[in-house]
Amino acid sequence: MSILLIEAFYGGSHKQLMDLLQEELQDDCVLCTLPAKKWHWKARTAALYFMQTVPTSTNYRILFASSVLNLAELAALRPDLGKLKKVLYFHENQLAYPVQKCQGRDFQYGYNQILSWFMPQHKLARLEKVTGLKRNGDAYQLGGLPGQQESGALGGLMKNSNAHHESGLCEAQPGLCTTQHEGLPSPLTAPARLNKSEASESTNPCQEEDKQHLTFNLSNILSGRDYQQRPLHVAWPHRWEHDKDPKTFFKVLLKLKEKNLPFHVSVLGEAFTEIPDIFSEAKKALGSSVLHWGYLPSKDDYFQALCMADVVISTAKHEFFGVAMVEAVYCGCYPLCPKALVYPEIFPAEYLYSTPEQLFKRLQNFCKRPDIVRKHLYKGETAGFSWAALGGKFRSLLAAEPREDL
């Protein structure tokens, strides 16, 4: 086992990537994880935990980890791991992550990512520039950190604003850190394409509650109505957290409801310990428009739900890739995304909106004419994001020989 995989937050897209790598590498890797709970605590203490639990081995050549782990700390605590070729995958940018309410930003998590950034030979950045590093002579400058003057190689952390988006793989070269982007985005898994009429004829979705988890049964909610005659079906397949901006999403839906426009909504995605109040408020206010509400642990059920939807919406304030959106498009949904973040890199202009008012107008038209989206053929590309396209690239990266000076 020459490849060591470490994931300090083993859930969601973090888990999906590690599982795909483990399947691709099979017996040539060992996976060490922590549960996907209490993210901030994991980010702060994971290095100490893995220092004690990662088995020593002379066979390791490569360490692959996500940026939840403070790689600099782990390398200091375990010098044997520090000597390995290191690949770091950034799922998010803690320097620009939306802050809840009006509280100040805790910069230690962004600072941890800066330290980790300088450690590995390869950085995988999920289609967005991670730290905003800018070359200036032989040094690097980063946007200002409050209370700190810009100077030298570390003149601050990064301005809390929209950075320029650059896609792909960043490789460190001799010197402090130079970047080369080779276009290695986040992989996704999706089922064989399912015809929407076939999905709707099978049966229809209903929900059986088991704590926060729901199962997806196709029974009699839609009463066998012809597929083309059913109301517009909107899907929201995101984590139930503030950075996905559920308030904007539900505000738009409630405005549609106020105008008596017909639609159904399936609110998918995983909920954690703290659920924003807007979810319970919106479920009550939306009433009979709710078709499905809650997390679907089964991938098959989840993809079936997406295959039955017409439109998939993102209102995210922070996004490096958006696996859920691409999965939904692969399942036949018409995407509506902010004209911001990473989305313009992935989706053609007709699928982007600039304001909530624009989103409302698009949905208003679709509610009146759902046949528009049901007959629409997506004009972008999704094949390049599949594991079939990316698995070999990840394997090639992880098969590369370590540098001689390690």
pLDDT tens figures, 274-299: 899 999 999 999 999 999 999 999 98
Residue 80 predicted with pLDDT over 50: yes
Contacts of 319 by beta carbon, 8 Å cutoff, 6+ apart? 341, 342, 343
Mean pLDDT of the chain: 76
pLDDT tens figures, 333-374: 999 999 988 899 999 999 999 999 999 999 999 999 999 999
The secondary element (H helix, E strand) that includes residue 328 is helix 323-330
pLDDT value, residue 90? 85
pLDDT value, residue 152? 34
DSSP letters along 155-171, please? S-S--SSPPPP--SEEE
pLDDT value, residue 197? 46
Are 366 and 350 spatial neighbours (Cβ–Cβ below 8 Å)? Answer: no
pLDDT tens figures, 225-251: 566 789 999 999 998 988 899 999 999
pLDDT value, residue 303? 95
Residue 73 predicted with pLDDT over 50: yes
Are 402 and 81 spatial neighbours (Cβ–Cβ below 8 Å)? Answer: no
